[in-house]
Chains A and B, each alone.
Chain A
Amino acid sequence: MAEAVPTAHAEPPQFQHHFVDMAAQREASSLGMWVFLVTEVLFFGGMFTAYVVYRASFRHDFEGASNLLDIRLGAFNTAVLIMSSLTMALAVWASAAGRRKLIIPFLLATILLGSVFLGVKFLEYKQKFEHHEVPGAHFVVPEGLAKPSELFFSLYFCMTGLHALHMIIGIGLLSWLILKARRGEFTPQYNTPVDLVGLYWHFVDIVWIFLFPLLYLLGRHTL
């Protein structure tokens, strides 16, 4: 988005020539990002459909398997991700309000929180490997549950794995933003990349907001 082409009137250097003016370019970029987020909604939606159908069929096994997850780590991760959403929103605010000195710290904070989230996720996955709760050859059916509990863990790993992959991509994008911010490219007239990565990051947070109760909390009342 950013090859600098000097223009006559006061458009910022990142202005793309096939647009009428900067406002049209901003509007198109934002519309494009929201349309992309629609595809992400339906991308995760496919797995949510599978989850809803299988939970209805194997209620007991899903609730039992869900209670094996560590709720403390899950809740902590949710809080971490909400905080990272805050710092991301502050980064977008800083870039729009022209507070250049604050952009990079907020971006770094978001990356840090994202990494903490991934670290906790890694910890959880390692725990599952030790308890033989990873579906596949050496999956051990937890006592008191039946075979479909493996289905729960298959969906658990697919959904949280895809979410974690989106986090990693997000952290990559944030690092790219820091490089651009260091070059001083973000001004109140042109902060589109920060805003778009912000939309992406908040979306990934929303996915986790739904994943957490569906995967971690659904069977707790049966304890």
Chain B
Amino acid sequence: MSAPGGHGVNAHGGGHPGLKSYFGVFGALMVLTALTVWAAFQHLGVWNTPVALAIAVTKALLVALIFMHLKGSPKLTIFIVVASVLWLAFLILITVSDYATRAWLPIYAR
């Protein structure tokens, strides 16, 4: 599983993304930050939060895949990252489902 020791190997054998991709990601992150600030002031009605979250997720993916060289990491590492996000989703969504469905019940039995 591990590449032979040598030039440019990182902690788990995956090759290092080149310099160009680092600066590319940096630029993209800056643009996305400006975009999310701009988007926050637009009246998108119910879409404001989803847009802000989508941009944040994109930025997080950029940092994770390139800066944290998740792209090219062994499948196990990617599986671990996905598991953590999934468990966070379990925690948030199931807790929110309790609050969302509290008012559904009619007061008296039919």
Direct contact of A and B (CB under 8 A): yes
Q: Which residues of A contact B (CB under 8 A)?
A: 22-24, 26-27, 29-31, 33-35, 37-38, 41-42, 45-46, 48-49, 52-53, 56-57, 71, 75, 78-79, 82-83, 85-86, 88-90, 92-93, 96-98, 188-189, 191-192, 195-196, 198-199, 202-203, 205-206, 209-210, 212-214, 216-218, 220-221, 223
Please tell me the number of chain B residues within 8 Å of chain A, measured between CB atoms.
59
Residues of A within 8 A of B84 (CB): 37-38, 41-42
* Measured CA separation A56–B22 after assembly (Å): 37
Q: Which residues of B contact A (CB under 8 A)?
A: 1-3, 5-13, 16, 19, 22-23, 25-26, 29-30, 33-34, 36-37, 40-44, 48-49, 52-53, 55-56, 59-60, 63-64, 66-68, 73-74, 76-77, 80-81, 83-85, 87-88, 91-92, 95-96, 99-100
Cβ contact within 8 Å between B85 and A206: no
Cβ contact within 8 Å between A82 and B16: no
Q: Is the interface of A mostly helix, strand, loop or mixed?
A: helix
Residues of B within 8 A of A223 (CB): 41
* Measured CA separation A23–B12 after assembly (Å): 7
